[in-house]
Chains A and B, each alone.
Chain A
Amino acid sequence: MGDLLGGSGTVLDDWLEAQRQAGVARPDLIDEAQRREQSSQVLTLLGKVLAEGSPVFPDDPAWDELRMHLDRLSESRAVDGFSPTETARLMLTLKDVLFKRLRDAVPNVTADAWSDIDEVTGLLDTLALYSSEVLQRSREAIIERQQQDMLELSTPVVQLWNGIVGLPLIGTLDSRRARLVMETLLDSIAETRASVAIIDISGVPAVDALTAQYLTRTAAAVRLMGAECIVSGIRPQIARTIVDTGVSLDGLPTRATLAGALALAFERTGRTVEPNG
C-alpha cells in the first residue's frame, strides 16, 4: 500500500488540485504556501506510517507523528475559520486521488486490489473523521472561552472610602478570569479616581506562581495609572507558602486583614484616624 504514495511529487499536485476543485482550498482563509506545506507533510508522514505495515489507528505509536500534524493542522484551521466539513473533505479528496492512481495502476481489479481499496477507504475515512473532530473540539473550546468571558459578570469592586477601592478575590484565577478582573479594577480606578486599590485574597485558596504573577501585574498596571496597590487577607498558611515556594510579590505591600490594609491606605493618602471624644 505504501507504493500508492510513491512518486509523491505528482500525488501532492493532484491532491492540491483536487482540493481546489472541491472548493476546499479556501485561498481566502489560508495562503497557497501554507496549504501546500500542510498537505505535503500529511503525505510524507502518511508514507512513513504505511511503510511500516498496517498499524492500527490511533493507538499504534507509529501514527503519532501524523496524528500530531493533523492536530496542529486542524487547530490552526479552526482559528482560520474552516468548517468541520471542509476539513474532512481535505482527507476525502486525497482518497479520490489515490483511488484514481490505484485504478490506473491496476486495470483489472484483483482480490488483492480490492483489499487494498478497502484499506485505503477505511484509513482515509478514519483520518477525515479524526481531523474533523479535532477541529470541532478546537472551535468549541474557543467559543466556550469567549462565551465565558461574556458571562463573567461584574467582579464586585467596592468603594471603601473616598479614593480607596477594594477588590475581594474569590476562588482560583485562571488567566482569562484574571484578565477580566484586572480590567474591572482598572476601570473602577479611573471612574472613582482612586489612589489606592486593596486586593483582598482571603477567598483565594492558594497563592501559586500564577496568582502571584497576576497580583504583581495588576499592581504594575495600577501604578501606571498613578495609584497603588495593597494586598490584604494574607492568612498564615498563605504567608508560609509564599515564603516556602519563594514566590515573589515584588515588594507589594501586604496586610493580614482588610482593616490593616485600610489603615495603611489612609496613611498613604494623608489621613489619620482618631477616636471620638
Chain B
Amino acid sequence: MAQVPILRIGDCLVVTVNADLDDGSALTLRDDLACRVASISARGVLIDVSALDVVDSFTARMLGDVARTVSIMDAETVISGLAPAVAMTLVEMGVTIPHTRTALDAQGGLRLLGIVMESARERGA
C-alpha cells in the first residue's frame, strides 16, 4: 500500500496515481490532500490518472470524494489523462466523477489550473 506522492507547483498540488488504488491508499490520499491543500492554501489540485487502465465505480467514487473534499476547502480539482477506453467504459456504465473538470493530459490540466509551463506552448491558438 504505497503512499501516493503529492508534488507542489506554485499554489497547486499535483498527484500522479499509478496502479491499483485500494481502499486504504485512496482514503490516505484524500486525507493527505486535504492537509496539504490547507497547509499551502492551494487553489487547485491536479490528479493525473494516465497510468490507470481501469477505473471502476469504486475508484470513480474515491476520485469524486477527493474532489469534493478539495472543493470544500475552496480549491478546484482537475483530473487528467483518462484514457479513451476508460472514458468510454465509465460512460457505458453510467458512472460520473462530479466536482471536477477534466483535461486530456497533465499539461492540459495544469493549463486549466492557470499554470503555463515555460517549455511547452503547443495547443495554443
Contact = CB atoms under 8 A, between A and B. Distances in A.
Interface of A: 163, 179, 182-183, 186-187, 189-190, 193, 195, 217, 220-227, 269-271
Contacts of A270: 125
A166 to B, nearest CB: 17
A109 B108 CA distance: 86
B84 A227 contact: no
B69 interface: no
B112 to A, nearest CB: 8
A123 to B, nearest CB: 45
A239 B77 CA distance: 36
A225 B123 contact: no
Contact of A223 (B84, B92, B102, B108): B102
A7 to B, nearest CB: 49
A112 to B, nearest CB: 60
Interface string B14-27: 00000000000000
Contact of A220 (B83, B91, B103): B91
A220 to B, nearest CB: 5
Contacts of B88: 179, 182-183, 186, 221
Contacts, number: 59
A189 B84 contact: yes
A175 B92 CA distance: 11
Interface string B74-111: 00000010111111101110001100011111001100
Contacts of B85: 183, 186
Given A183-B84, A186-B87, A186-B88, 16 more contacts: A163-B123, A182-B88, A190-B83, A193-B104, A217-B91, A220-B96, A221-B91, A223-B102, A224-B86, A224-B87, A226-B102, A226-B103, A226-B104, A226-B108, A226-B112, A270-B125
Per DSSP, chain B at the interface is mixed
Interface of B: 80, 82-88, 90-92, 96-97, 101-105, 108-109, 112, 122-123, 125
B92 A217 contact: yes
A187 B103 CA distance: 15
A64 B88 CA distance: 40
Contacts of A182: 88
Nearest to B92: A217
B82 to A, nearest CB: 5
A8 B86 CA distance: 51
A183 B88 CA distance: 8
A195 B123 contact: yes
A104 B54 CA distance: 61
Contact of B80 (A195, A223, A226, A227): A226
Given A163-B123, A195-B123, A271-B125, A225 B87 contact: yes
Nearest to A187: B84
A236 B101 CA distance: 34
